[in-house]
Structure 1
Amino acid sequence: MPHYLTELYSAKPAWLALPRQGRQQFLAAIGSAMPGLSALGVELITFGKVDQSKLHAASQTFFAVWRCPDATALEALVAGIAQSGWHEYFDTINAAGRGTDLAGHLAELGAAA
């Protein structure tokens, strides 16, 4: 069963203080890592900016949603993000786990303690 990672993140002062060239270099390095993730079966579903006008909107500025074929690929994704230096520049909240269908999730909710 596929595993998913949803990231919510906002820029830290270190990112805001980074000169434009430094930002471009960092983002280019992030982009160059994508083929390695694809080789593991990691798929980017979408990136975006959080719409703060929506009811119960997250306080973070941006989001990313990833699909991984298994827990091993998910761990590689999370580790790769950390190793990139991402967390030096962005406050991030991760929600990750195995995906399920509606009936499975309703069962999970029903069993919640």
Structure 2
Amino acid sequence: MSEEMRNMYVVVETWTPKPAFFAADEKTLHNLFAGIKEAMKQLAEFGVVTLGWGRAEPAPHSTSYDWFAVWQAPSRELADGFLGGVESAGWYDYFEQTNLVGELRLGDAVMAEHLALEAEVK
């Protein structure tokens, strides 16, 4: 595992606009996204950066949400702080969303944990 990957957390957001998004006026939405852009600049100073945003495409067993963003953070505390900022920005007023947070680790370690789960059941 590379040194950069150690203690690196990933936040994956998936969302779909709520009716409130479609009912909001252009100024409200512009202000929402301007605030998000400013927060992204501030977060980058602490090492929380976006890896990208996109529109979800059909895939086997995919999420029902329409959009996604992937972020990286150097600690769980910063990942949690990021999600707190998303909430305080009012994002959840306009989007139905699910979040996933986890530490990046090697596949072998995660597979070993799965095998240990099976042993616990038996």
- Return the TM-score normalized by structure 2: 0.86
Structure 1, unmatched stretches of 5+, are none
Matches of 2:53 and 2:114, distance apart in 1: 27
Q: Which runs of 5+ in 2 are unaligned?
A: 1-6
- Root mean square deviation, CA, Å: 1.2
SS in structure 1 of the partner of residue 54 of structure 2:
strand
Counterpart for residue 82 of structure 1: 87
Q: Residues 1-54 of structure 1, C-alpha deviation per residue, up to 9 Å, x if partnerless? A: 1111101100011001112222112111111111111011101111100002x2
**How many residue pairs were aligned?**
112
- The TM-score with structure 1 as length reference comes to 0.92
Q: What does 1:33-72 align with in structure 2 at a 5 Å threshold?
A: 33-52=39-58, 54-72=59-77
The 1-side partners of 2:97 and 2:89 are apart by 13
Question: Structure 1 vs Structure 2: percent identity of aligned residues?
Answer: 27
Partners of 1:68 and 1:28 in 2: CA distance: 22
